[in-house]
Amino acid sequence: MTDCCPSLQLGADTVTAQDYVRLLGMTITSDLSLQQYVSNVSATSFYWLRQLRLVRRSLDSESAATLVHAFVTSRVDQCNALLAGATKSVTDTLQHVIYAAAHVVSNTRKCDHGLTQILHDDLHWLDVADRVTYKLGVTMHRCRHGKALQYLVDCCTPVTDVVGRQRLRSATQQLMVVP
């Protein structure tokens, strides 16, 4: 065996370092970049959009929207809370997927105008950055009201629970302590 990659000996097993790992459908690279994950989601989503485009003439709008939700937007939304604070280039890649999905559902072409209006007013879809913000907001709401998983609830500490910060003006704003 060559020593091209660092390895760790655990009993009789050898664990070799990898460039990336897949965990719960999320691709995590060794430098913790999200680019590989976003590329995988984008490629898979565009594959399904091409397949749906082939049968779009046989579907009504509601059926097309259901299939797009099942095969595309659910992938974009999976683990998207990890995209909080991601660069615009990362979120723009997923935004192109959302635009393409809107084209399939609305049965419009790439050159047709008014896609943003269709996206927001007709389909009631949020942009990728807004989806991330919404998901984080819902998660924090659940944590504050004890409806989230216990390990998340334990991580959320209100400012009013921190000694020395209870009398500050910020304590009346229902803020959480940022770890």
Q: How many domains does the chain have?
A: 2
Buried b (16+ CB within 10 A) or exposed e, 74-84: ebbbebbeebe
**Mean pLDDT of the 65-91 span:** 93
Residues 144 and 68 in one domain: yes
In a domain, 38, yes or no: yes
Residues 99 and 167 in one domain: no
| pTM beyond cutoff 0.85 | no
**Residues 110-148: tens digit of each pLDDT:** 888 888 888 889 999 999 999 999 999 999 999 989 899
